């Protein structure tokens, strides 16, 4: 084997270090974004192509459970009920080829959803598996076409807390059928979350992006103390694997809790990044981020 010249060794070390940096960056913190609730926020494919969002929550399936016919609402993007969204399959595959994980967000602030029993939870899980994930059933229409999303995001903001832990367990059980099912969630910052606490206690959530907004006791209010204290409580939960700081992407995106980008990057991120559970930031939403440019202001500081 020919020996390397002295000049080639530093070059080799540089290439190795660059490769290591690229590998570590893929494992590093990132931004989760909600897409689907404004037709003026660009396509799903365009959202993924920005390269800024390793996690995209497609929002919302806001009618399900308790005997209701499940209903997907994608605002001005397309009409799922008439089959107008099946063309999203090609965009889903494009996103996944770029390494983006796509979750179907269920629940939301406006809708009709609840679970009436453990059997109801099982039936909803089967519907989600066959309609949006890796399952197939001749009797279940797939609103987004034949492409399979990566998981389910829980954004439970109304109704009862009952049986969501069962729904999570049923969904995770489908991992045995050849596709990993990611489970993520967006609880409110008061701990424990009133509606999602029992589900989070399963310990089966892969990522948790807590909403640190519209909740004055645990959000930024010109002072970071309440927010940091709340973050510390969440980060100490033994049931949470990866924790994200959920924020509005613009002042208009929420009733309260917006954090100026410079405050986030200089005062808050340096503190919360010390947590081994820190995973990044979640933003509501793609539309508001387009208006403010918030993600571009913070992405290099994550």
Active-site residues, by number, are: 157
Q: Please identify which residue in the block is written with the tokens 């009733």.
A: 255
- 56 contacts 105 by C-beta, under 8 angstroms: no
**Assigned token pair, 91:** 């965009």
Q: What is the 3-state secondary structure (H, E, C) of 29-70?
A: CEEEEEECCCCCCCCHHHHHHCCCCCEEEEEEEEEECCCCCC
**Assigned token pair, 234:** 């969440």
CA 240 to chain centre: 14
**Assigned token pair, 93:** 């595959």
Alpha-carbon distances of 178 from 150, 159, 168, 173, 175, rounded to whole Å: 12, 33, 17, 11, 6
Query: Could you tell me the end-to-end alpha-carbon distance of the chain, in angstroms, rounded to an integer?
Result: 43
Q: Is 152 left (phi over 0), alpha (psi -120 to 50) or beta?
A: beta
């Amino acid at each position: 084997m020919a020996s390397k010249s002295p000049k080639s060794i530093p070059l080799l070390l540089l290439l190795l270090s660059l490769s290591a940096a690229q590998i570590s960056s893929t494992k590093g913190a990132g931004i989760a974004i909600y897409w689907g609730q404004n037709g003026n926020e660009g396509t799903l494919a365009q959202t993924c192509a920005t390269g800024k969002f390793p996690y995209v929550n497609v929002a919302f399936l806001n009618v399900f459970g308790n005997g209701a016919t499940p209903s997907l609402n994608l605002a001005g993007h397309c009409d799922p009920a008439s089959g107008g969204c099946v063309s999203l399959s090609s965009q889903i595959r494009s996103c996944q080829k770029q390494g983006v994980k796509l979750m179907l967000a269920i629940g939301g602030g406006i809708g009709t959803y609840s679970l009436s029993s453990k059997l109801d939870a099982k039936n909803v899980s089967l519907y989600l598996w066959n309609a949006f994930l890796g399952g197939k059933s001749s009797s279940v229409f797939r609103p987004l076409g034949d492409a399979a999303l990566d998981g389910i995001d829980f954004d439970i903001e109304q109704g009862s807390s009952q049986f969501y832990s069962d729904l999570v367990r049923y969904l995770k059980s489908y991992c045995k059928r050849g596709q990993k099912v990611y489970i993520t969630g967006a609880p409110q910052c008061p701990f424990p979350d009133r509606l999602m606490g029992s589900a989070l206690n399963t310990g089966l959530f892969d990522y948790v992006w807590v909403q640190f907004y519209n909740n004055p006791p645990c959000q930024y209010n010109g002072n970071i103390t309440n927010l940091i204290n709340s973050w510390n409580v969440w980060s100490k939960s033994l049931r949470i694997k990866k924790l994200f700081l959920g924020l509005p992407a613009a002042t208009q995106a929420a009733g309260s809790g917006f954090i100026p980008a410079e405050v986030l990057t200089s005062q808050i991120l340096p503190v919360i990044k010390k947590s081994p559970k820190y995973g990044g930031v979640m933003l509501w939403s793609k539309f508001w981020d387009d208006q403010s440019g918030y993600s571009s202001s913070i992405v290099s500081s994550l």
